[in-house]
Amino acid sequence: MAGSTDFDLYQLSEEHQMLRDTVRSLAEAKIAPFAAEVDEQARFPQEALDALVGADLHAVHVPEEYGGAGADALATVLVIEEVARVCASSSLIPAVNKLGSLPVILSGSEDLKKKYLGPLAKGDAMFSYCLSEPDAGSDAAGMKTKAVRDGDHYVLNGVKRWITNAGVSEYYTVMAVTDPEKRSKGISAFVVEKSDEGVSFGAPEKKLGIKGSPTREVYLDNVRIPADRMIGAEGTGFATAMKTLDHTRITIAAQALGIAQGALDYAKGYVKERKQFGKAIADFQGIQFMLADMAMKLEAARQLTYAAAAKSERVEADLTFFGAAAKCYASDVAMEVTTDAVQLLGGYGYTRDYPVERMMRDAKITQIYEGTNQVQRIVMARNLP
């Protein structure tokens, strides 16, 4: 698995290129055939999970010492991008496995890493991330979920909202208030298991897009967990959560790239076949200009995302800016490219017989989750290089 971080941003290393080709072949053969059905039925893409686990591509970021592939940040981006090119819902399997488990990798004890990263690497469990709440979205530090110490345990109570893959994942990184007086410095992180007594889930949200990835509330009702399931020291949970997002916003940029590339690929093929006024519409300059703009912006987003992945791997000082910039720009581009793809297909683009309307619906969430693009602009302004 790709492990080198010394890559040229303008040309993938041979190892990364081989990974991209492998994932693309797998995605086209084993994930793409189910994408429309997964969306139509709003069902979890089990076929994608099985294919990704079978090829050891479901959580490539897990370090080798815990049984993982030890892939670098760019390799993780490539996996997510290529899966998202055919099915955005399925790309949330590797993306959210990284999001949920990265707090453990960054701040967890050695025992916690061994206990939870091994099953994740094997494909025996998925990992979700519980930060947002009904009244704490962009203002995540305003959360109300509490964790109260009781001897050798903590007792958790609260509600987490907008939790990706909730109910399917076995493990959950949960942020909870341990000291209400300290606001963000009074928040701690914990690993909660689906099987813990008192854990339950709300009904799946009925969403515009990414319908194959369940989004549900997570209810914590007197959930009693051992104190050693705390990730890092007490009061460091919010800092870990923010540090995690610096790295994982790049995975959302990767998802946006994949969705946009899938839409551009389909539109390119369509305009060559579709004839009006006696010739292929690809021969009209207006259409050519649209495609040129789509491809130009997508390539700019890709280079920014790959540069951010390099900074993530090296944990460079300007990672916060680049992570926010990549996520913000790539998702804006994805929304624009998918909307233009629908336009290029005309009336056909507006129907479910063609994949671009699904891609347009899927693209919208990339501008919202892991921090809205308005929040990304605040983050960038505060962290100008």
Report the catalytic residues. Answer: 370
* Cα 86 to Cα 355: distance, rounded to the nearest angstrom: 9
Query: Are the C-beta atoms of residues 153 and 124 closer than 8 Å to each other?
Result: no
The owner of tokens 């910039």 is 325
Structure tokens at 38: 């997964």
| β partners of residue 148 | 155
Is-contact 323 249, C-beta < 8 A? yes
Residue pair 282/251 in contact by the 8 Å Cβ criterion: no
Distance from C-alpha of 71 to C-alpha of 159, rounded to nearest angstrom: 34
The SS3 assignment for 3 reads coil
- The DSSP code for 161 is E
| Tokens at 221, concatenated | 């009702």
CB-based contact 69:60 (threshold 8 Å): yes
What is the C-alpha separation between 268 and 260, in angstroms, rounded? 12
Cβ(124)–Cβ(68) below 8 Å = no
Structure tokens at 40: 């139509």
Locate 6 and state its tokens.
């010394």
Round to whole Å and give the CA distance between 310 and 252: 15
3-state secondary structure of 219: strand
The closest alpha carbon to 325, from 258, 230, 249, 243, belongs to 249
